[in-house]
Chain A
Amino acid sequence: MAEPYLSASAMRGGYGKADILNGCTLTVDQGQIAVIVGPNGAGKSTAMKAVFGMLNLREGAVKLGGEDITRLTPQERVHKGMGFVPQTHNIFPTMTVEENLEMGAFIRTDDYRETIEQVYHLFPAVADKRKQNAGELSGGQRQQVAVGRALMTKPRLLMLDEPTAGVSPIVMDELFDRIIEVARTGISILMVEQNARQALEIADIGYVLVQGANRYTDSGKALMADPEVRRTFLGG
């Protein structure tokens, strides 16, 4: 098999002295959906940040499309085609919904109006609020704006940290639906999910992260089928 599109190998690092990541490895192929699950505080978000260059790695390397990007700044990674929705603080609160989406398209030079319409179509609830400041939205609406912003980037690798937290079931369905669609177009998806069963359902590859290290790695289906994994990590 050729080298995967994204490969983050043996990452080790953290915020202070203690390491949060202890040799965590993540890979995603072109058009694949990879899902990370694990207990709270396992280091999932930290791993995402590490992949995006928002955390200094002590060890390990991140490669994108065969190119070593370990030393690049987050902003340079954006230009390499990576998009990221953080778990918290993922909107611009005093800018309108529309401006939030425009900011998603900041590095695009083509006409992005169509993409905006697509996002509105996907999230009709926020479409009604396009002229409202994003900070005034409800929790779930914010989440939708955040995901919408990332979609605006038209990235080649889309990283989502718990995109469905606080989102109502109907929208969550839509969202997963859309993610599959996006993946179809050849975009790689790396996401963290606590709604793990739904997420693993659509995942090509699943990672169970515990204390900053890979505990289980398998296809989504296989992980779902593993009773041990289900009991300890997926809530029965």
Chain B
Amino acid sequence: MSNTRQADAHGRWRAPIVFLLIAALFMLEGTTRNALFSGSWNSALAILNMGLISAVMALGVNMQWGYAGLFNTGVVGFLALGALGPVLVSTAPVQGAWSAGGLRVLLALAVGLGTLALATQVWKRVKAPLSFILIPLVLLVGCVLYRFLFDPAVMAIEANNSASAGNIGGLGLPVLLSWPVGALFAAAAAWGVGKVALGLRSDYLAIATLGIGEIIVAVLRNEEWLARGVKNMSGIPRPVPYELDLQNNAGFVAKAAAWGMDPATASAIWVKLLYAGLFGTVLLGLILLAELALKSPWGRMMRAIRDNETAAAAMGKNIKGRHLQIFVIGSAVIGLAGAMMVTLDGLLSPGGFNPLRYTFLVWVMVIVGGSGNNWGSVLGAVLIWFLWIKAEVWGPELMNLVTMPLPEGALRQHLLDSAPHMRFVAMGLTLLLVLRFAPRGLVPEK
């Protein structure tokens, strides 16, 4: 607490300085070739693009944690739901999938949800001894009915051309349209989750959301009819041209030549720039909205709620309502990031949705950047992503450095062989160093 005044003094310059630092890192990555940087704009832009998406994720987490103190560790789940958006909206329809069982699946899902709704109603309306019989009964009947409808429909869909499809397929709509849909998926799930779990305090909410994230990912991995499960869904359409088309485009090749670049490099860079433009626009739009909200009474109310719920409730603030609101919005933003991510990857690979990478790394981004501060979390996201990727190179380099003075021999060989694992050490060390020198984040909340 005692250093607040000091922080204020530097406060206004923190964000620009960090921004410049990051910009410099990217410049180096783009231009210089040495042991640490690759000197390739392609590489720099590739990192930047995913960095921008990470920034959107971080923004979503920051809304939940930084504004309202909601400890959501189910990031990966909401991300995965958002990622479902492009698959269901924009991939090509699968021949025969809907007729095989699409409607029956929808019906089954409706029955499932209806059962849950009915059970909650019973729980609310019916008094104790009777409800103990009724609820299991409702659940049992609902479950049987659900399985009765669901299982054969799913079998039919999955049997439909199972090697290369086996899912219900998409609608073939433009992929940009799927981004808000992805956000909507995540928001809908967040609403349900929030209704149930938001009463929990800090770490308990954390584990509940962690579980929910795991559940969502488990569903995505195992429900093949939905998006092919672990068999991966590739070929998701792009909002930008394909490199090869550009390379075959005479006009483009001529322009590239004018810039003194070979067509392959030029096309790759151009495509990445287009992506960066798209992602950047989304990000800036979100930041603008978030900043406006945060700097007004709404933001003040959120901080008050985060600070002291009991007092805020006594001052007339509807804690549950506000928590739900921000939880849904934050999750929607995370879902949006998920949709953007699969669009960039061109691939939905649920096997890769692991909490370390998509939940905790995002948390690291937010905290290192400065929770509660939009710019902080965004800059933190880009920086941490950069480090995460570069640790792949820096780790082994670090090992080279360490083993330099060692004599040739088994030990040195063992260490050199283990060099890839220095990735973690390098990442850990940078994280610790950043936290050490900016314990409240790079751009702390004022």
A15 sits at the interface (CB 8 A): yes
Q: How far is the CB of A63 from chain B (nearest CB, A)?
A: 26
CA distance A17 to B4 in the complex (A): 10
The closest CB in chain A to the CB of B3 belongs to A16
- Using Cβ atoms and an 8 Å threshold, which residues of chain B touch A15? 1-2
1/0 contact string of B1-13 vs chain A (CB within 8 Å)? 1111110000000
Q: How far is the CB of A55 from chain B (nearest CB, A)?
A: 10
Q: How far is the CB of A58 from chain B (nearest CB, A)?
A: 13
The closest CB in chain B to the CB of A17 belongs to B5
1/0 contact string of A1-17 vs chain B (CB within 8 Å)? 00000000000000111
CA distance A17 to B7 in the complex (A): 12
The closest CB in chain B to the CB of A56 belongs to B2
CA distance A16 to B9 in the complex (A): 13
Q: How far is the CB of B338 from chain A (nearest CB, A)?
A: 41
Q: How far is the CB of B257 from chain A (nearest CB, A)?
A: 62
- Using Cβ atoms and an 8 Å threshold, which residues of chain A touch B3? 16
The closest CB in chain A to the CB of B9 belongs to A17
- The tally of residues in A whose CB lies under 8 Å from a CB in B reads 3
- Using Cβ atoms and an 8 Å threshold, which residues of chain A touch B4? 16
CA distance A166 to B204 in the complex (A): 34
Q: Name the interface size band of chain B.
A: under 10
- Using Cβ atoms and an 8 Å threshold, which residues of chain B touch A16? 2-6
A-B CB pair tally, cutoff 8 Å: 8
- Using Cβ atoms and an 8 Å threshold, which residues of chain B touch A17? 5
The closest CB in chain A to the CB of B1 belongs to A15
CA distance A48 to B222 in the complex (A): 64
Q: How far is the CB of A20 from chain B (nearest CB, A)?
A: 12
Q: How far is the CB of B429 from chain A (nearest CB, A)?
A: 32
**Chain B 1-54 interface residues, beta-carbon cutoff 8 Å to A:** 1-6
Q: How far is the CB of B167 from chain A (nearest CB, A)?
A: 52
Q: How far is the CB of B127 from chain A (nearest CB, A)?
A: 31
CA distance A17 to B2 in the complex (A): 9
Q: How far is the CB of A99 from chain B (nearest CB, A)?
A: 24
Q: How far is the CB of A139 from chain B (nearest CB, A)?
A: 15
Q: How far is the CB of A53 from chain B (nearest CB, A)?
A: 16
CA distance A17 to B6 in the complex (A): 9
CA distance A96 to B156 in the complex (A): 63
Q: How far is the CB of A70 from chain B (nearest CB, A)?
A: 19
**Chain A 1-55 interface residues, beta-carbon cutoff 8 Å to B:** 15-17
- Using Cβ atoms and an 8 Å threshold, which residues of chain A touch B6? 16
Q: How far is the CB of A222 from chain B (nearest CB, A)?
A: 38
- Using Cβ atoms and an 8 Å threshold, which residues of chain A touch B1? 15
CA distance A170 to B5 in the complex (A): 44
CA distance A16 to B5 in the complex (A): 7
Q: How far is the CB of A2 from chain B (nearest CB, A)?
A: 38
Q: How far is the CB of B203 from chain A (nearest CB, A)?
A: 16
The closest CB in chain A to the CB of B5 belongs to A16
- Using Cβ atoms and an 8 Å threshold, which residues of chain A touch B2? 15-16
Q: How far is the CB of B22 from chain A (nearest CB, A)?
A: 31
CA distance A153 to B6 in the complex (A): 39
CA distance A16 to B1 in the complex (A): 9
The closest CB in chain B to the CB of A18 belongs to B5
The closest CB in chain B to the CB of A55 belongs to B2
The closest CB in chain B to the CB of A16 belongs to B5
**Chain A 161-185 interface residues, beta-carbon cutoff 8 Å to B:** none
CA distance A36 to B2 in the complex (A): 25
CA distance A15 to B4 in the complex (A): 10
CA distance A63 to B387 in the complex (A): 53
- Using Cβ atoms and an 8 Å threshold, which residues of chain A touch B5? 16-17
Further pairs besides A16-B2, A16-B5: 6, Cβ < 8 Å: A15-B1, A15-B2, A16-B3, A16-B4, A16-B6, A17-B5
Give A contacts to B, CB under 8 Å. Answer: 15-17
A-B residue pairs in contact (CB < 8 Å), sample of 8: A15-B1, A15-B2, A16-B2, A16-B3, A16-B4, A16-B5, A16-B6, A17-B5
By Cβ-Cβ distance, the 6 closest A-B pairs, closest first, are A16-B5, A15-B2, A16-B2, A17-B5, A16-B4, A15-B1
